[in-house]
Chains A and B, each alone.
Chain A
Amino acid sequence: MFTGNPAGRFVVLFCSVFWFGLAHSADEVRVGALYPLSGQVAKSGEDTVNAIRLAVDIINNKYPDLGVPFAATEGLPALGNAKITLLIADHQGSPETGAAEAERLIVQQKAVALIGAFHSSVAATSSQVAERMGVPYISGESEASTLTERGFKWFFRTTPSSRTQARDFFTFLRELNKGSKDQVRTIAVVHENTLWGQEFAKSVEGYLPEFSDFKLVADISYQQGTADVTSEVQRLIAAKPDVVFHASYDAEAILFARTYKQYKFSPRGVMAIGAAFGSSAFRQALGPDANFYLIREHWSRDLASKNRVVAQVAKLYRDRFGKDMDGTPARAFSAMMTLADAINRAGSADPKKIRDALAATNLAPDKLIMPWTGIRFDQTGQNDLTRGIFVQTLDGAPRMVWPFDQAAAKLVWPRPAGR
């Protein structure tokens, strides 16, 4: 409405500068966090927010022995040791609530950056609000590939999208094939048929041209909540794949593993996305038969053997919240640290400057608790330096076996027959 009126523009500019000067005086930077703290995944939401609380606490206070950025100082050094004020909002897993809470955090609570939102569906709506209002939004754990395909300028994601996660399966197999006589050539994909499983299967197919040394011999999509997987397993037996890629939830993971055993289906490896094939329910249900399944994970406590910081942060988390850290909190922690790094480099609590600093992020791997090769955002706002890990259940416990240079235990491959 002030366009074309230089005086009006000046008033707006002056007011906003003045406003930021007032509301964001050097002693605090207000960051809004959107997470599900009630509803079905309240527990996971709480665990995730706790990691962000820990990150903020490390930034705001002195942790002299800790090897992460901002631990040695109090607050953000480039902003006159300003502290981060975390404003936590509960979106209850609802995209509508998420959007409304994002607006409230920005307008009423004067948040200069948002972090969230666990659910991809909520990240989609709440980041739309942030985009519209010109506030940077960082996500450490919402994985839907589409989030970074919307051409947004204010959205950044540190976690790999579900599409890039599928890439690790191929990278793993290619590394495995290197110098091995026993080459893996044929792959079968078994997936449930809701969005998650379908997206995984689509991603795998999308990578086939790039990884043309592998051939897809069966793509088996089954109804989630199926009573019987005999026909699926018989198709696998007929297709004789070297390796099976799996995207299944808990009940079917147990059912598949048992049916594999019943019909003596024994590929060289079963590699799964999602935690079902390594969950405690799975291990409890299958006992020794749970061994040797490979699960693509984001994080493992085994990373501590090569990275001292991982052990330190994991211990702080455990001591403070009485629970072991796992992949999602670890990723949220990393997103918060990335945001803090950007705010510090921006040297200001101005959302535009924070956004530009985020876009220029380049964090080295030794600053991270993740197995990534760094954090750097591409044009779409996606971190393109992520790397997954593979965890294999060995003697009933999950052990990190890949990347091979960081492995805490030796991969068992091919999986012993009869398991």
Chain B
Amino acid sequence: MSGDLLVQLLLSGIGMGFIFALIAIGLTLIYGVMNVVNFAHGEFLMLSMYASYLAFATWGADPIVTLPFVAALMFVFGLLVYYLLVRRVMQGSMNSQIFATFGLMVFLQAAAQFIMGADYFAVRGGLLSGVLEVGSLILPAPQLAAVVGASTATGVLYWLVFRTATGRSLRAASQDRQAASTLGINVDRMYALAWGIGAACVGIAGSLLSNFYPVFPRVGAIFVLIAYVAVALGGFGSIHGALVAGVIIGLLQVLAGFFISSQLKFVPVYLLYLIVVLVRPRGLFGRL
């Protein structure tokens, strides 16, 4: 096999990896701040893809143009989910939190099918639908955008969490809810913020994805499973962990799909995950 092919595989793997990472970052942020797993995360992705598609179909607006609006919309949606649903079950047992977000997942899927039908919709000829050619190598534009998007999102989140007063409050709220409240931090607001930002991240991922992936009610499930693995692999709550794990997964699945079998392309991914969990239960970059 030629060197070009290997480089092409690596680049494609990294490109897809950044898309997985972008989805995982929002998930890990919510988990990191409040120890709640958002089972409806895939459906957040589905909603943002529908939003991008509808804007495209109605006004002909390109997903890259509507990206900030979709992200803002998803931010508000994240806040709503927190205030209307998650906040109410935080006092309950772990189970009620699981069932609340799981129920939200089922509800959103069913609602999407009810309103939009089970059909497949796709944005056609968006600005990001092309490819960038470097010599004989091909770099799909949505993947390039994901590289930029995911890196930027990680960078901005880092800056926000570790360099700003709000970030300090976020971290305080995630470390010790009561102590943080005693110190005058509005914990409730911090949690809401985490949900908002987490949803906005997945909104960006959805906007980028809608450039090449069709949207349908169950589209979230396809990506979110990978995102869960990325979060666990990278370490629960670790933002850069999710980024690194997403890229590792993207690379592994492309290489395994090419060299082993495309049916089994996620086997090495889950195998690595198992090994990491066994040897290092907190994940690659997680804290204990």
Residues of A within 8 A of B (CB): 193, 220-223, 225-232, 234-235, 238, 250-251, 254-255, 258, 262-264, 279, 281-282, 284-287
**CB proximity of A238 to chain B, nearest CB, Å:** 7
Chain A residues lying within 8 Å of B256, measured Cβ to Cβ, are: 231
Which listed residue (B121, B122, B254) contacts A230, Cβ 8 A?
A: B254
Inter-subunit contact A231/B266 (CB<8 Å): no
Q: Give the complex CA separation of A6 and B146 in angstroms.
A: 84
Which listed residue (A234, A264, A286) contacts B258, Cβ 8 A?
A: A234
Chain B residues lying within 8 Å of A232, measured Cβ to Cβ, are: 257, 262
**CB proximity of A142 to chain B, nearest CB, Å:** 22
B85 within 8 A of A: no
Q: Interface readout for B1-12 with A: 1 if CB under 8 Å, 0 if not?
A: 100010011001
Q: Give the complex CA separation of A279 and B256 in angstroms.
A: 31
**CB proximity of B212 to chain A, nearest CB, Å:** 5
Chain A residues lying within 8 Å of B266, measured Cβ to Cβ, are: 223
Q: Give the complex CA separation of A52 and B5 in angstroms.
A: 54
Chain B residues lying within 8 Å of A284, measured Cβ to Cβ, are: 121-122, 124
Inter-subunit contact B253/A285 (CB<8 Å): no
Residues of B within 8 A of A (CB): 1, 5, 8-9, 12-13, 16, 20, 119-122, 124-125, 129, 131, 138, 140, 212-214, 216, 218-219, 221-223, 226, 250, 253-258, 261-263, 265-266
Q: Give the complex CA separation of A281 and B215 in angstroms.
A: 11
Q: Name which residue of chain A comes closest to B2, CB basis.
A: A238
Q: Give the complex CA separation of A262 and B222 in angstroms.
A: 21
Q: Which of B125, B129, B140, B262: most chain A CB closer than 10 A?
A: B262
Inter-subunit contact A231/B131 (CB<8 Å): no
Which listed residue (A227, A255, A264) contacts B214, Cβ 8 A?
A: A255
Q: Which of B13, B212, B218: most chain A CB closer than 10 A?
A: B212
Inter-subunit contact B258/A285 (CB<8 Å): no
**CB proximity of A30 to chain B, nearest CB, Å:** 36
Chain B residues lying within 8 Å of A279, measured Cβ to Cβ, are: 120
A251-B219, A281-B214 known; A221+B262 contact, CB < 8 A: yes
Inter-subunit contact A231/B255 (CB<8 Å): yes
Inter-subunit contact B120/A281 (CB<8 Å): yes
Instruction: Supply 20 A–B pairs (Cβ within 8 Å), ascending by A.
Output: A220-B262, A221-B263, A223-B263, A227-B20, A228-B16, A228-B254, A231-B253, A234-B5, A235-B258, A251-B120, A251-B213, A251-B219, A254-B122, A255-B213, A263-B131, A279-B120, A281-B120, A282-B120, A285-B122, A285-B124
Beyond A193-B263, A227-B16, 7 extra complex contacts between A and B, CB < 8 Å = A228-B254, A230-B13, A230-B257, A231-B12, A250-B214, A262-B138, A264-B138
Query: What is the predominant secondary structure among interface residues of chain A facing chain B?
Result: helix
Chain A residues lying within 8 Å of B138, measured Cβ to Cβ, are: 262-264
Chain B residues lying within 8 Å of A255, measured Cβ to Cβ, are: 212-214
**CB proximity of B234 to chain A, nearest CB, Å:** 18
Q: Name which residue of chain A comes closest to B209, CB basis.
A: A227
Chain B residues lying within 8 Å of A225, measured Cβ to Cβ, are: 218, 221-222
Q: Name which residue of chain B comes closest to A249, CB basis.
A: B120
Inter-subunit contact A254/B257 (CB<8 Å): no
**CB proximity of A248 to chain B, nearest CB, Å:** 12
Listed from nearest, the 6 A-B pairs whose CB atoms lie closest are: A231-B257, A285-B122, A281-B120, A230-B12, A231-B258, A222-B262
Q: Give the complex CA separation of A281 and B53 in angstroms.
A: 13
Inter-subunit contact B253/A228 (CB<8 Å): yes
Inter-subunit contact B1/A238 (CB<8 Å): yes
Chain A residues lying within 8 Å of B121, measured Cβ to Cβ, are: 281, 284-285
Chain A residues lying within 8 Å of B16, measured Cβ to Cβ, are: 227-228, 230
Q: Give the complex CA separation of A159 and B119 in angstroms.
A: 27
Chain B residues lying within 8 Å of A258, measured Cβ to Cβ, are: 129, 212
Q: Name which residue of chain B comes closest to A230, CB basis.
A: B12
Chain A residues lying within 8 Å of B226, measured Cβ to Cβ, are: 227
Chain B residues lying within 8 Å of A231, measured Cβ to Cβ, are: 9, 12, 253-258, 262, 265
Chain B residues lying within 8 Å of A282, measured Cβ to Cβ, are: 120
Chain B residues lying within 8 Å of A263, measured Cβ to Cβ, are: 131, 138
